[in-house]
Structure 1
Amino acid sequence: MAKKVTIQVYGAEQVCASCVGAPSSKDTFEWLGAALSRKYPGQPFDMRYIDIFSPGDDPDEKAFAQKVLDEDLFYPVVVIEGEVAAEGNPTLKKIYAKMEQYGYTPSNAQSLFRTV
Structure 2
Amino acid sequence: MSQKAVVNICVYGAEVICASCVNAPSSKDTFEWLKAALSRKYGQHCFDFIYVDINEQQSDREQTDMCKRILEEEFFYPLVTINGEIAGEGHIQLSHLHQKLQQLV
Query: Counterpart in 1 of 2:59?
Result: 57
Of the three residues 14, 30, 33, the one matched with 1:28 is 30
Paired residues, number: 103
1:63 to partner: Cα distance:
0.9
Identity of aligned residues (%): 50
Query: Counterpart in 2 of 1:16?
Result: 18
Counterparts of 1:1-116 in structure 2 under 5 Å? Answer: 2-103=4-105
TM-score normalised by length of structure 2: 0.92
Alpha carbons of structure 1 residues 55 and 96: separation in structure 2 relative to 1, 3 Å: farther
Of residues 50-59 and 77-86 in structure 1, the stretch that sits farther from structure 2 once superposed is 50-59
TM-score normalised by length of structure 1: 0.83
- Root mean square deviation of aligned Cα: 1.3
Task: Return 5+ residue gaps in structure 2 as ranges.
Answer: none
1:2 to partner: Cα distance:
4.9
| Aligned partners of 2:4 and 2:46 also within 8 Å | no
Higher Rg of the two aligned structures: 1
